[in-house]
């Protein structure tokens, strides 16, 4: 038996704060498949659809009256850029799920414009995900998902659906847009879950 074990099997990044295969950028690249939808605030809503026709929804005014959190997190794009200590403001998914009664284990995030991505509920709850509407102290720019986007910083950034409309709870883990086009079903950057 070997006495010395490196204890590390994957690729290492130069910066230990970065997941394997990632490099740090100061920019904030825009990555969108298709045109950015324009959503007037008075037509905006966020919904959670569970079983038995249960559908909760919040207008912008209702959403803004919920408890708001300041978030500082690193974000990691599968195309290999990471941005460290980004600051956001938004509503925790824990708050939005307070009155949701479900036995489902997964969600499909639906964006205005048609983009979808799948996320296990376990990755949305427990202080891990937000509906964010402010970036770096300013209202979220439309190109980055304004008026509001999902923010799930512990998964690759394609899971953070821009122009978020709502979450549909599902029994199974149903591949979304990128997941149907070769991206990994889950997308944990620390395990390099990039492609399937």
Ligand X SMILES: Nc1nc2c(c(=O)[nH]1)N[C@H]1C(S)=C(S)[C@@H](COP(=O)(O)O)O[C@H]1N2
Among Mo ion, ligand X, none, what does residue 115 contact (CB within 5–8 Å per kind)?
ligand X
Which one of 15, 17, 29, 31 is in contact with Mo ion (CB under 5 A)? Answer: 31
Which one of 130, 158, 163, 183 is in contact with Mo ion (CB under 5 A)? Answer: 158
Q: Pick between residue 27 and residue 101 the one whose CB is nearest to ligand X.
A: 27
Among Mo ion, ligand X, none, what does residue 47 contact (CB within 5–8 Å per kind)?
none
DSSP of 52-104: TT-EEEEEHHHHHTSPPEEEEEEEE-TTSEEEEEEEEEEEEHHHHTTT-----
Q: Pick between residue 31 and residue 143 the one whose CB is nearest to Mo ion.
A: 31
**Binding marks (x or -) toward Mo ion, 89..128, rule CB under 5 A?**
----------------------------------------
Q: How far is the CB of 50 from ligand X (least distance, A)?
A: 22
CA distance linking residue 107 with residue 164, whole number of Å: 13
| Selection from 174, 172, 178 nearest residue 158 by Cα | 178
Q: How far is CA 137 from the centre of its chain?
A: 19
Beta carbons of 106 and 174 less than 8 angstroms apart:
yes
CA distance linking residue 164 with residue 81, whole number of Å: 22
Q: Pick between residue 63 and residue 149 the one whose CB is nearest to ligand X.
A: 149
């Amino acid at each position: 038996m070997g006495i010395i074990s490196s204890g590390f099997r994957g690729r290492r990044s130069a910066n230990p704060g970065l997941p394997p295969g990632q490099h740090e950028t100061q920019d904030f690249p825009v990555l969108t498949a298709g045109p950015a939808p324009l959503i007037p605030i008075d037509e905006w809503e966020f919904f959670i659809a569970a079983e038995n026709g249960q559908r909760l929804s919040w207008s912008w005014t209702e959403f803004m009256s919920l408890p708001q959190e300041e978030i500082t997190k690193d974000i990691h794009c599968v195309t290999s850029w990471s941005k460290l200590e980004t600051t956001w403001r938004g509503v925790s998914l824990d708050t939005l799920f307070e009155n949701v009664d479900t036995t489902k284990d997964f969600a499909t995030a639906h964006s205005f414009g048609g983009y979808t991505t799948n996320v296990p509920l376990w990755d949305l709850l427990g202080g891990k995900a937000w509906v964010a509407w402010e970036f770096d102290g300013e209202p979220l720019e439309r190109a980055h998902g304004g008026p509001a986007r999902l923010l799930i910083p512990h998964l690759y950034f394609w899971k953070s659906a821009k122009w978020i409309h709502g979450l549909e709870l599902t029994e199974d883990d149903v591949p979304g847009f990128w997941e149907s086009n070769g991206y990994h079903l889950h997308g944990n950057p620390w395990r390099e879950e990039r492609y399937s």
